[in-house]
């Protein structure tokens, strides 16, 4: 089962890259831009057909390594089989 | 004086640190490859600077799970002394041996320069207790992720426990020499037991004799004095 993990900065954590992107988009004339967030997407394949099990294992991976929960949050999405 | 320097793929300050330690102690430290799962008894373990595992995922994140880190956790649990410099500091944070996180520099630029540091008067760090708190230290930094971050509660407890050891110093006009946006101008912190020190500036690059400063030598000397006594 394929799982997509999205890792983002927690609200309130300074994200200089997102700020730089925000400024660049504003200077390109996107004056309706309200906010920019930048994160990481990691796709993992887990050997199970059980969605709950896949979510559980992906969360374990996030806690163990993929996210630093001091500054980051993670969300887990199950990919529909293609 | 038995010193071990932990080496990861991508460490690049291990040799400079080895030369610095040998110059001060007269004994060559052991270089320990990260795959080694044990650590012979040592008085001080040093995690040097560099780009362990290419800084993939997050700086220090992959190194924090290398086999040698279990041995380092055991060493820490016995009250063993540890110094982490730059990437070594990042690894100490990722492995949970020190609290907080080193985010990307506020300027989005790699910064490589001499910095002025102040030594905190109330610091509980046993390793730096012989440093003169009225003196400014001039030690260079070289990093892209040195912007210390912790939540308000952690910062408060670091400050009130005396775990902030080094700060980027303020000049006469009150302007801080903070090169990276670090919270509270933090350049180095220690663990609650005062035996683990993590710092962004590179003391091994301020050893006199061709370097711009000899203040790194003072800092390392204070660590060796603390360990002997």
Tell me which chain B residue has its CA closest to the CA of residue A68.
B94
- Is residue B55 within 8 A of residue B103, CB to CB? The reply is no
CB–CB contact A66 B149 (8 Å): no
To the nearest whole number, what is the mean pLDDT of chain B? Answer: 96
Among B65, B104, B108, beta carbon nearest to A65: B65
Which residue range forms the structural domain that includes residue A22? 2-78
Note the pLDDT of residue B229: 67
- Extract the residue ranges of chain A whose pLDDT is less than 50: none
Q: Cα B144 to the chain's mean position, in Å?
A: 15
Interchain proximity A14–B106, CB inside 8 Å: yes
Is-contact B102 B90, C-beta < 8 A?
A: yes
Sign of CA dihedral B49, B55, B59, B60: negative
CATH code, domain carrying B211: 3.40.50.880
What whole-number distance in Å separates Cα of residue B168 and Cα of residue B201? 10
Nearest to B227 by CA among B129, B92, B124: B129
Residues B19-70 have pLDDT tens digits of 999 999 999 999 999 999 999 999 999 999 999 999 999 999 999 999 999 9
Residue ranges of alpha helices (H) inside B95-169 are: 152-161
* Domain count within chain A: 1
3-state DSSP call for residue B143?
Answer: strand
pLDDT recorded at residue B143: 98
Domain of residue B204, residue span: 3-228
Confidence of residue B6 (pLDDT cuts 50, 70, 90): very high
Give how far A38 is from chain B: nearest CA, Å: 13
| Tokens matching residue B23 | 């110059």
CATH of the domain at A18: 3.30.1280.10
B151: chain A residues, CB-CB within 8 Å: 70
- With bands split at pLDDT 50, 70 and 90, how would you rate the model's confidence at B121? confident
Identify the residue among A18, A23, A61, A68 best suited for mutation to test binding to B, counting B beta carbons within 10 A and taking the highest. A68
Q: How far is B50 from chain A (nearest CA, A)?
A: 20
Token pair for B98:
């020190």
The domain total for chain B is: 1
Inter-chain residue contact A14 with B103, CB threshold 8 Å: yes
Q: What is the complex's ipTM, to 2 decimals?
A: 0.86
Which of the residues B101, B109, B153 would you substitute to probe the A interface, choosing the one with the greatest number of A C-beta atoms within 10 Å? B101
Q: Give the A:B interface size as CB pairs under 8 Å.
A: 36
């Amino acid at each position: 089962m394929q799982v997509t993990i999205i890792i983002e900065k927690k609200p309130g954590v300074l994200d200089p890259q997102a700020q730089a992107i925000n400024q660049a988009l504003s200077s390109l004339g996107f004056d309706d831009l309200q906010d920019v967030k930048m994160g990481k997407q990691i796709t993992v394949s887990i050997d199970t057909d059980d969605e709950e099990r896949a979510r559980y294992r992906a969360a374990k991976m996030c806690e163990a390594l993929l996210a630093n929960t001091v500054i980051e949050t993670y969300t887990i999405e199950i990919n529909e089989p293609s | 004086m038995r010193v071990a320097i932990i080496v990861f793929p991508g460490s690049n300050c291990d040799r400079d640190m080895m030369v610095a330690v040998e110059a001060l102690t007269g004994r060559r430290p052991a270089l320990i490859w990260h795959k080694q799962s044990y650590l012979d008894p040592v008085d001080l373990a040093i995690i040097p600077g560099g780009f362990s595992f290419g800084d993939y995922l997050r700086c220090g994140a992959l190194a924090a799970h290398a086999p040698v880190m279990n041995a380092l956790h055991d060493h820490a649990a016995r009250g063993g002394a540890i110094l982490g410099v730059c990437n070594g500091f990042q690894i100490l944070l990722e492995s949970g041996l020190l609290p907080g996180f080193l985010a990307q520099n506020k300027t989005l630029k790699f910064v490589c320069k001499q910095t002025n540091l102040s030594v905190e008067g109330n610091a509980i760090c046993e390793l730096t207790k012989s440093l003169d708190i009225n003196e400014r230290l001039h030690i260079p930094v070289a990093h892209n992720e040195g912007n210390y971050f912790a939540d308000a509660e952690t910062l408060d407890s670091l400050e009130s426990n005396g775990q902030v050891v080094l700060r980027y110093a303020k000049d006469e006009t009150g302007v801080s020499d903070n090169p990276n946006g670090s919270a509270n101008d933090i350049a180095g912190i220690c663990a609650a037991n005062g035996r683990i020190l993590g710092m962004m500036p590179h003391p091994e690059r301020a050893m006199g004799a061709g370097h711009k400063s000899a203040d790194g030598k003072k800092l390392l000397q204070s660590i060796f004095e603390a360990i002997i006594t």
